[in-house]
Amino acid sequence: QVHLQESGPGLVKPSETLSLTCIVSGGSISSYYWSWIRQPPGKGLEWIGYIFYSGSTNYNPSLKSRVTISVDTSKKQISLKLSSVTAADTAVYYCARFVGWNDGPDIWGQGTMVTVSS
Amino acid sequence: DIQMTQSPSSLSASVGDRVTITCRASQGIRNDLGWYQQKPGKAPKRLIYGASSLQSGVPSRFSGSGSGTEFTLTISNLQPEDSATYYCLQHNSYPRTFGQGTKLEIK
């Protein structure tokens, strides 16, 4: 059974870069799309972007200038970098898998909380 | 971006009831819609994909319908464990967009 595990610093200072990783276990990273989605405390879900295992990406235009998603297939790892963070970037960050380009996420990680504060 | 308008924002129902949650897309999305259930402190869990296909392992009391711009999630024979927030997600175009969520309380 495929399992996703996010990890990274729980606290990031304003203007710095948020860096998270997602480890895929129990299944292949190849042939799938891997996305990042976030949820501010008490609020709804926001799509950040995705990466295909081959490396092609698509980002939410609202975050595009600050987001980089990368993949390391040898480590079965997906990474998220979000630069110039502010308090508005405080959220639970989820990684999630989807099967086809025209599909929605079917498997989610448990999420990791990131707080932006000095 | 496609806007997803979900209603109601909250509802309260009793065990055994049937409830319906609606999602409206700002433009046609064929049947490219999923429904997700999220319990406090947990990741969302997919219930429905392709507007009406039941995710494996999900109880059959959950059902979805609709196409184009209007979609519904129906939960029949409500159970205490159905207390959660429900979200729709359009997977027709990028960026993917979610509805605002519906918080379901079981009386």
SS3 B66: strand
Residue of A6, A36, A45 to mutate, interface with B, max B Cβ within 10 Å: A45
- What does the pLDDT read at residue B67? 98
With CB atoms and an 8 Å threshold, state whether B91 touches A104: yes
Beta bridge partners of B75: B19, B62
Q: pLDDT at position A46, please?
A: 98
Pairing relationship of beta strands B53-54 and B45-49 according to DSSP bridges? antiparallel
Strands B19-25 and B4-7: antiparallel
Nearest-CB residue to B43 (from A44, A58, A94): A94
List all residues of chain B from 64 to 93 with a beta carbon under 8 Å from chain A: 87, 89, 91-92
Per-residue pLDDT tens for B62-102? 999 999 999 999 999 999 999 999 999 999 999 999 999 99
Record: contact A104-B34, CB cut-off 8 A: yes
C-alpha pair distances (Å), B8 with each of A47, A52, A110, B26:
22, 35, 27, 17
* SS3 state at B58: coil
